[in-house]
Amino acid sequence: MARLRRSFFNRPTVTVARQLLGCYLVRRMGNRVIRVRIIETEAYVGPKDKASHASRGSTPRTQVMFGKAGCLYIYLVYGMYYCLNVVTEREGYPAAVLIRSSVKLGPSSFFVPYGTKNEQNGFEISGPGRVCRALKIDKRLHGEDSVVSRQLWFEKGKLSQNEKIMTGKRIGIPYAGRWQHKRWRFYIKKPSDRTIHWV
């Protein structure tokens, strides 16, 4: 599949967050390449967004968010879980998209115990920490440029006719004031879904 270029990420963050749905996150580990389909994202937009780490300005931790679109911003939460974000928009304007959930179809052994079986005989990896654990993503990939990386990158994908993009409030940001109510979380919902396990 075609790799996503820098021009894909160098656009408004909310647009990128929506259009990453159905695309693929690809992880190479040695001779093994694993592709997972992105099914949930969150947008963090600029220095005024109080939910964004960049709202406190450029620090050694957030400096990558001020850099080139397509680079990876990876941070640790609760002292134990890594979260994967991809930088968006122009250099100097800190914004990124958090990858919240994905689905791997086919053999399940790689993802147990991080995935939940779904009706497509695949495994849904629910939550940004589980995505990183399943794909062995940690601080060693912080700052990696996904546009040229041979370890972690994004590839084009698309939605099927029976899939619909849903929106919701971002999760776990009560400190952000009015910014917590922005409906900048996006996820795929199919007509056959009875519940959305990753909301």
User: Any idea what the CATH number is for the domain that residue 151 is in?
Assistant: 3.10.300.10
Tokens representing 125 are: 């990896």
CB 72 within 8 A of CB 86: yes
Q: How many CB atoms lie within 10 A of CB 80?
A: 8
CB 183 within 8 A of CB 194: no
Q: What is the pLDDT of residue 194?
A: 35
Question: What's the average model confidence in pLDDT over 143-150?
Answer: 98
**Calpha distance 95→179 (Å, rounded):** 14
Residue 153 lies in a domain: yes
**Calpha distance 77→46 (Å, rounded):** 21
* Residue 181 CA from chain centroid, whole number: 19
Tokens representing 109 are: 């052994």
Residue 168 lies in a domain: yes
- Whether 30 has a pLDDT exceeding 80, the answer reads yes
Reply yes or no: is the peptide bond before residue 94 cis, omega within 30 of 0. no
Q: How many domains does the chain have?
A: 1
Residue 176 lies in a domain: yes
Residue 159 lies in a domain: yes
> Over the chain, what is the mean pLDDT?
88
Is the pTM higher than 0.85?
Answer: yes
φ and ψ at residue 145, rounded to 5 degrees: -90, 105
User: Considering only CA atoms, which of 22, 17, 150, 129 is closest in space to residue 84?
Assistant: 129
What does the pLDDT look like over 99-119, one tens digit per residue? 999 987 655 555 545 555 554
Q: What domain range is 144 assigned to?
A: 6-189
